[in-house]
Structure 1
């Protein structure tokens, strides 16, 4: 074999060794990646936040397994034609009943879906897996997403695009007589956060969206994709709440699917 051919063979062998080494390193690196896609690195803005859903199990969560499961690292709520609901059903976090906190999570919902994130809520004794209290509303058509709706209580407290104060009454309030068109009437709109239809454009249909709740004292702020959608000051001394359960909902209605992931809580 002449020297030119020998040199060519050496170069070829070196090239093959390099390719094999690169492939080995590629598979080694990927083998070390976490299988759970729920495990994302914290950003600087996530300091102090802790995950309350591990992406693998329903540890510390309780709900009807007919409607709730873990799938592909996500917390999934689904209604099928065979499992139509008669009452709204929640999966409820059992870890704590936080008072002042921030909550971050991502959700994705089908077009026909209706869901929500309840907080500072109470259990309903005679209805399984039901909550009563504040809710950051979510729906697939984005008619309600971002608003503050109080489940089984005062109904709509603030529509999307409103900063509202819920006024106080000195006597016990008859809830039904103060609700009109599914909205609490003892409230004052302090200012506009923007046109509801314009704010709706910030919400991604059928894709992942981030919700950020800042709940401190009697002020309740709902952000979607870093945009403030509703802002409530609850000065109603009879009906306001300062602690309670966290949970997410599947709503009465047609078949639907909602997914939640990266559920992070920071106590203030």
Structure 2
């Protein structure tokens, strides 16, 4: 009889201890969430990809999916492309902004981050506009390439000033001003370093961070904290001040690219 009376209070004390511990854990988790929210508010960046779904993104499901918290774009031997295809953020058309994300791309891969872009009505999920180029062989990663428009604006390692062609009203003059896949009305103002040396700062088939700072007519592309290219776009005829944001899978061999931690801050 005495042992039963002793046992009962012991159980009650144990339950109370467990309850207090549970409350403490909940409070700590709530505090952690509050810190995370505060940090987000302080730096101004907002997650635009939730890591679980394609909510607020629009693309061809044959090429885009969510896997292990990553946004995955993949071309297989049975889904080879005839046109480059994008998954497009539906949350707006940013003008001045910063974008941060991490990417990992297979060696055979070709991709890019499009911004201030317009949709092409005649091709599903296609964008025309500025692109922070990304490729698996790291030939082009970091440069500014304008998709389906003025082509290369600044190679990796360049600060380049872009101007209009002489006769902007001449039919077909936009393409006529492109040679060797680069816009001809461009002036290299300054070197950011040798392209091959900068290439060594970009990890092959591993995670890298891209950081775009887009403000007014200045377009800066950083990879792993290093400025890889900068465009000063003084081409008042062809430049864009706002537009769609999206990421690409490119025509070519089977490939895979992954994106995560996609964060946007409007300036």
Per the shorter chain, which TM-score range? 0.7 to 0.9
Task: Tell me the residue number matched to 2:250.
Answer: 251
Task: Tell me the residue number matched to 1:96.
Answer: 92
Task: Tell me the residue number matched to 1:227.
Answer: 226
Any unmatched runs of 5+ in structure 1? 1-20, 33-39
Residues 43, 201 of structure 1: alpha-carbon distance in 2 compared, 3 angstrom cutoff: farther
Residues 88, 231 of structure 1: alpha-carbon distance in 2 compared, 3 angstrom cutoff: same
1:80 Cα deviation (Å)? Answer: 0.4
Task: Check whether the contact 1:164–1:232 (CA below 8 A) recurs between aligned residues.
Answer: yes
Any unmatched runs of 5+ in structure 2? 1-17, 30-35
In structure 1, how many angstroms separate the alpha carbons of the residues matched to 2:43 and 2:183? 36
Residues 215, 203 of structure 1: alpha-carbon distance in 2 compared, 3 angstrom cutoff: same
Task: Tell me the residue number matched to 1:203.
Answer: 202
Please identify which structure carries the higher helix content. 2
Task: Tell me the residue number matched to 2:193.
Answer: 194
In structure 1, how many angstroms separate the alpha carbons of the residues matched to 2:251 and 2:66? 21
Deviations 1:176-209 (A, max 9, x none): 2111110110000001000000000000001100
Residues 141, 43 of structure 1: alpha-carbon distance in 2 compared, 3 angstrom cutoff: farther
Task: Tell me the residue number matched to 1:112.
Answer: 108
Matches within 5 A, 1:1-268: 47-169=43-165, 171-172=167-168, 174-268=173-267
1:168 Cα deviation (Å)? Answer: 3.2
After TM superposition, the score normalised by the length of structure 2 is: 0.84
Q: CA RMSD in A?
A: 2.2
1:170 Cα deviation (Å)? Answer: 6.4
In structure 2, how many angstroms separate the alpha carbons of the residues matched to 1:54 and 1:258? 17
Deviations 1:75-131 (A, max 9, x none): 000000010001000000000101000000000000000000000000001000000
Q: Secondary structure at the match of 2:193?
A: coil
After TM superposition, the score normalised by the length of structure 1 is: 0.83
In structure 2, how many angstroms separate the alpha carbons of the residues matched to 1:123 and 1:236? 21
